[in-house]
Amino acid sequence: MRLFLLPISTRRTLIYCQRLNVTTTNEQTNLALRWIDKGSVKAASLWAGWEKKESGWQKWLVNRGNAALRRIAYEEWGLKSIPALSTRRKAEELKEKGKKTVEVSFPQSLIPEETVTELLKKLGTERQGLHKRSLYWCFVGMPVAAPFGLIPIVPNIPFFYLAFRAYSHWKALSGSKHLEFLVNNKLVTPRPSKILDELYSTGKLSFDTPSVSTAEKSSANLNDLEEKMILHKSDGKRIAEALELPELDMELDRAVWQVERALKAEKEKEEEKKDLNEAQKKK
């Protein structure tokens, strides 16, 4: 597999894992995993059918569902792209230590090579507590939602949603632990990407915008720097095409949308606080 570090703003970075040389192993033929895969395929097929409907509760549900999926944190989606660390995979990766490592591609113009390992460690650990708690509450809520399945015709949406979120949190937690394992055992190798540097240099980031490297080197003044967007909506497709990873377009589009909303909300909050302080001074 190969990891990509893709700055979204001057303080936030998306991690994405590209699977390489995927082969069928004993762990992939595990009965539980096969049932999950079959269920995922069936659910995807049902969802696609509902999307084609012009109206009705199925269409309404799909629109609401897609909106909810868009709001799931981009960090969670990124961690979910990293495969779970099974006992077999752990043994294989430790066996290859010193011979084969996981490459990490990143734009060196924005992320200094010496900070890559620390950034990976942060991305692998900062959300573990959140996913553990959320997974627990999903399991608590599923038995409560189960009786809704007795209602005829309408599917048990609360139960299925909690089941999906539980699986999603488990995937993200597993991905974060795998990433932490790779960093702790020095199984990652930073590889500056000329392609990413070119893509970011031709983007819409102005020259006077503080870069990620500036923020990292001046960590003491990090909170004083105004966070700004590095990527914009149209950049996702351009990067996905250049890296030949079509699925990355959706990941970047979601991340850009979420970070733009977060920065807008923060700015509005700061302006409200400023107006309140000025009003209090006038009294």
Residues 252 and 231: beta-carbon distance below 8 Å? yes
Lowest-pLDDT choice from 98-107, 109-118, 125-134: 98-107
| Token representation of residue 130 | 């959140």
Residue 192 has pLDDT above 80, yes or no: yes
Confidence of residue 24 (pLDDT cuts 50, 70, 90): very low
Residue 211: pLDDT over 50:
no
- The pLDDT-based confidence of 38 (bands split at 50, 70, 90) is low
Residue 198 contacts residue 146 (beta carbons within 8 Å): no
Residue 271's φ and ψ, nearest 5 degrees, are -65, -40
Question: Per residue in 40-50, pLDDT tens?
Answer: 555 556 656 66
State CA 249 to chain mean position distance: 13
Confidence tier at 281 by pLDDT (50, 70, 90): confident
Mean pLDDT of 256-277: 89
Q: Is the model's pLDDT at 170 over the cut of 70?
A: yes
Amino acid identity for residue 111 in this structure: I
Eight-state DSSP code of residue 203 = S
Please compute the mean of the pLDDT values over residues 97-103 and round it to a whole number. Answer: 83
pLDDT tens per residue, range 214-253: 444 444 444 557 888 999 888 888 999 999 998 899 899 9
User: Is residue 233 within 8 Å of residue 257, measured between CB atoms?
Assistant: yes
Per-domain boundaries in the chain? 2-217+226-282
Range with the lowest mean pLDDT among 71-75, 149-153, 181-185, 257-261?
A: 149-153
Alpha-carbon distance of 18 to 4, in angstroms, equals 8
User: What CA–CA distance (Å, rounded) separates 108 from 116?
Assistant: 10
